[in-house]
Amino acid sequence: MKTLHFAAVGLGNRSELLDHLSDPAAHSAVLHGADPSEEARRRFSDRFPDVEVVSDYRELLAVPDLDGVIILSPDYLHREHACSFLHAGVPVYLEKPIATSISDADAILDTARRTGTKLFLGHNMRYFPCIIAMKDIIAAGTIGEVQAIWCRHFIAYGGDAYFRDWHSERRYTASLLLQKGAHDIDVIHWLAGGYTRRTVAMGTLSVYNRAKRRSHKTPGDARFYLDHWPPLEQSGFSPVIDVEDHSMVLLELDNGVFASYTQCHYTPDTHRNYTVIGTRGRIENFGDHGRCRIALYTSRNDTYAEADRIIELDGHEDSHGGADPAIVRAFLDYVRNGTPPNPSPIAAREAVAAGYSATESLRSGANARTVPEPSEKNRAFFS
Ligand SMILES: NC(=O)c1ccc[n+]([C@@H]2O[C@H](COP(=O)([O-])OP(=O)(O)OC[C@H]3O[C@@H](n4cnc5c(N)ncnc54)[C@H](O)[C@@H]3O)[C@@H](O)[C@H]2O)c1
């Protein structure tokens, strides 16, 4: 089997994916990398000494015979980076969220369609065993027709990951509701089998605006520490914080399903809890990757009751519960054999469209927003 050759753009935290993309057993190798940060290049080269690294990603556009590029740069650069490689005819793995605005997401889809270049989005939650198990229970009809999905998202590490570096600024992420929420909105869409067409949201920044900041001269450190608790007793936060740390969203989907999504960045625990309610029962997960449980309720009780069935999942604890190696395998299968990508680029665009419109609602007095649809050309092409 031919060994596929890849380049990587953005060599920060998410370059952990290269542990799976550079794999002799899968006949794939990452040979080139680009990052303007000297510190990021140095750290990366300690881990991947055989990868040739440069500061300017545009040098990689001239590398002959690349089989693909993996784009792991900050969200606001996704449009520029993805479109450059799509124009060059190089298949793209692009981290989520696809972009920080609906127009940027649409521009990326337009470019992939016009150039006919492969585009794969890094929504690794679709590869979480727990989410797949919930999708299978729904598909089997066990809870009847899905009517409602409620997601509560508790993020204990929010203060570490999102309020110390570029994530804390609207100009780089739009909002954490879009940045982080793109994962969950996509999962809601996938479990429901529809896309959001109307949304209304409320939210605020009420904790990290009061936290102790670092100066502009000190680089941000977004590593996680369990003893960073409670949030208001920590320091080292970004000089500029203008994204919300608590958001609550309602979503109306095109197939009649209604959903809610709530995200909080200062909880003591970390967990995504989805409740899916159908016409014959409901499911709810406890733990979203690694060891987790799905509770299935199918009989009526008029007071609190244990679930009718508990499905226990003994997943890996590492690499997003095994989802990272699985999504990289899916990308390789797409590049090598053309197996359709999961999610489709349209689904990634729709997650951003809902998150972006919800952010607009949140920042304009909770007025309901209609979520713009993708173009007919893109819908037809990517379906
Ligand atoms: N799917 C997931 O579970 C998951 C998890 C974490 C991050 N992400 C996504 O991965 C992406 C990267 O996130 P991260 O946590 O690694 O961020 P990070 O800040 O750790 O790394 C980003 C890197 O990109 C570099 N960069 C900046 N400008 C660049 C440019 N012009 N060209 C090339 N590189 C440039 C930065 O110097 C930095 O090293 C984001 O889009 C994020 O949303 C996805």
Q: What is the pLDDT of residues 345-354, one digit of tens each?
A: 999 999 999 9
Closest by Cα among 76, 86, 148, 78 to 113: 86
C-beta of 12 in contact with ligand 1 (< 6 A)? yes
C-beta of 44 in contact with ligand 1 (< 6 A)? no
Query: What confidence tens digit (pLDDT) does each residue in 366-376 have?
Result: 999 999 999 99
- Residues 173-186 have a mean pLDDT of 98
pLDDT at 68 over 90: yes
Average pLDDT, the chain: 97
Pairing state of beta strands 92-95 and 68-71?
Answer: parallel
pLDDT value at residue 321: 76
Query: What confidence tens digit (pLDDT) does each residue in 269-295 have?
Result: 999 999 999 999 999 999 998 889 999
CA distance 163 to 205: 11
Range 126-321+352-370 classified under CATH 3.30.1490.190: no
pLDDT value at residue 290: 86
Query: What confidence tens digit (pLDDT) does each residue in 88-147 have?
Result: 999 999 999 999 999 999 999 999 999 999 999 999 999 999 999 999 999 999 999 999
Residue type, 312: E
Ligand 1 pocket test, pick from 9, 44, 72, 92 with the greatest ligand atom count within 8 Å of Cβ, gives 72
pLDDT value at residue 317: 60
pTM of the shown model: 0.97
- Residues 301-307 have a mean pLDDT of 96
Dihedral of the alpha carbons of 360, 361, 367, 372, in degrees to the nearest 10: 70
Question: Which CA distances in Å does 317 have to 1, 123, 310, 355?
Answer: 31, 18, 20, 29
What class has domain 4-123+325-342? alpha beta
pLDDT at 200 over 80: yes
Positive or negative: CA dihedral 15, 21, 22, 25: positive
Query: What confidence tens digit (pLDDT) does each residue in 330-347 have?
Result: 999 999 999 999 999 999
The domain segmentation of the chain, as residue ranges, is: 4-123+325-342, 126-321+352-370
- Residues 58-80 have a mean pLDDT of 98
pLDDT at 316 over 90: no
pLDDT at 320 over 90: no
Closest by Cα among 328, 360, 20, 323 to 183: 323
Closest by Cα among 168, 164, 165, 169 to 237: 164
Q: Which atom of ligand 1 is nearest to the CA of 75?
A: 41
pLDDT value at residue 351: 98
C-beta of 14 in contact with ligand 1 (< 6 A)? yes
